[in-house]
Amino acid sequence: MATAKKVALISGANKGIGLETARQLGKQGITVLIGARDLAKGESAAEALKKEGIDAEAVKFDVVDAADIKAAAEKVEKEYGKLDILINNAGVMFEPIGGNNATAVSDDVLRKTFDTNFFSVIDVTNAFLPLLEKSDAGRIVNVSSILGSLTLHATEGSPIYEAKALAYDSSKTALNSYTVHLAHALKGTKIKVNSAHPGWVKTDLGTDAAPMDVVDGAKTEVELATIGPDGPNGGFFHLGEAISW
């Protein structure tokens, strides 16, 4: 039997933006499942949240491991009977920020980046769709990046015009395309799908050079995860503002 409380699963949630997203959702009374490749790190993060009064549980969840995805979906179904929020937060970047590596990026970097940032999102989402369909208001948040915006990349003078890391940027462009397509496929249901640009945030990926703190970086994910029935579907947002595709 499905639990009455809302349940959220966040991939890559044992640190950084994912963990802060779990914290902010948990403070709203939502049960948060901490997806982590390393279960011990996930359990440590969950214990820290529990000390703050948050209902949290760690789930071993390597998004590029089919067995992990299957086991996680089975666990959520058995223990909770549904899933209300899926946040595809896990992501990787193997390239330096700045410059243009279009003629130099390796096949290996391209494939590893797309495996995590794009293909795994589809695999994970498909695995959890049956549980999201059992929710009264299923929400899927794909964590993208402004670096996935083709409009801004093609516009001279835009904030990202000179920052062209091909593997990462194009993986997020592909992710945005998936958001549009999935939202259209589910438009007759109670499930809403949106892309989030957290901002340039001080994390392991964003580095200390980033201007935003993690508390603010999680806000867009949390907002899209908790939108009402009149909220957007198939959009790309940062702190409530739409971003050009």
Residues with a known catalytic role:
168
DSSP letters for 204-232: TTT-TT-SB-HHHHTHHHHHHHT--TTS-
Cα separation, 244 vs 146, whole angstroms: 9
What lies within 8 Å, CB to CB, of 241 at 6+ separation is none
- Token pair for 14: 């044992």
Q: Where are the beta strands (DSSP E) in the chain?
A: 7-10, 31-36, 56-60, 85-88, 99-100, 139-143, 163-164, 192-196, 236-238, 241-242
Instruction: Dump the DSSP string for 137-169.
Output: S-EEEEE--GGG-HHHHTSTTSTTTTEE-HHHH
